[in-house]
Amino acid sequence: MKTLLTSLIILVTSVVSPVFGNEPMSRPSSDKLTESSKTDKPTESSKQNYQPKNNAEMVQAIKQKLEKSWELELLVGISNSDKYKLRVQIKVNSDGFVVGKIKPVDPLEPKGNYLLAFELAEKAIMRANPLPIVPNKFPNGLVLEITFDPYTGFSF
């Protein structure tokens, strides 16, 4: 129970602190963690090389990388910013690197503040590159459609 609680505190800290601009709390020393908690979740140092085991983990890992890269505050300063939801399409190779252009899907031709929202989405994707994908599952890569919504976040 204590290990589960420690893992939840670490998870909440790593998710909440970027949102509120606080530095993450220090993690408990490794000698206090059980062996299973060390291997179940990626550590800060291993997140760069984290490889999800299934599609659900992949989607969650991609969302986390995008959240850290999306400069949402640049869009939030605009009135009615919550309406600038957009959908983009990307191609990812078998190693998780984005290949080709990031394409707007909805709106198809972003203009005005939608163009700003699209540019912020592009930058977030490129900063998050490579994306964590399930190893050996997509030998030809894959195409993802991602919705960037200033109000609710990301969806696939």
Do 101 and 55 reside in the same domain of the chain?
yes
CB neighbours of 156 closer than 8 A, spacing ≥ 6?
59, 62, 144, 145, 146, 147
- Looking at residue 122, its pLDDT comes to 96
- Looking at residue 151, its pLDDT comes to 84
Q: Per the domain annotation, does 81 fall within a domain?
A: yes
First vs last Cα of the chain: how many Å apart? 33
Do 20 and 67 reside in the same domain of the chain?
no
Digitized pLDDT (tens) for each residue of the chain, 156 residues in all: 333 333 333 333 333 333 333 333 333 333 333 333 334 444 444 455 678 999 999 999 999 999 999 998 887 777 777 788 999 999 999 999 999 999 999 999 999 989 999 999 999 999 999 999 999 999 999 999 999 998 888 888
Q: Per the domain annotation, does 87 fall within a domain?
A: yes
> Tokens in use for 40?
């179940």
Phi-psi group of 72: left, alpha or beta (phi > 0 → left; psi -120 to 50 → alpha; rest → beta): alpha
Do 78 and 128 reside in the same domain of the chain?
yes
Do 20 and 57 reside in the same domain of the chain?
no
Do 117 and 58 reside in the same domain of the chain?
yes
Do 35 and 57 reside in the same domain of the chain?
no
Do 115 and 81 reside in the same domain of the chain?
yes
Q: Per the domain annotation, does 46 fall within a domain?
A: no
- Looking at residue 154, its pLDDT comes to 86
Do 115 and 58 reside in the same domain of the chain?
yes
How many domains does the chain fold into? 2
Do 130 and 82 reside in the same domain of the chain?
yes
Q: What domain range includes position 16?
A: 1-41
Task: Report pTM.
Answer: 0.66
Spell out the SS3 assignment of 55-69: HHHHHHHHHHHHHHH
Do 139 and 75 reside in the same domain of the chain?
yes
Do 139 and 67 reside in the same domain of the chain?
yes
> What residues are paired with 102 via a beta bridge?
none
- Looking at residue 14, its pLDDT comes to 33
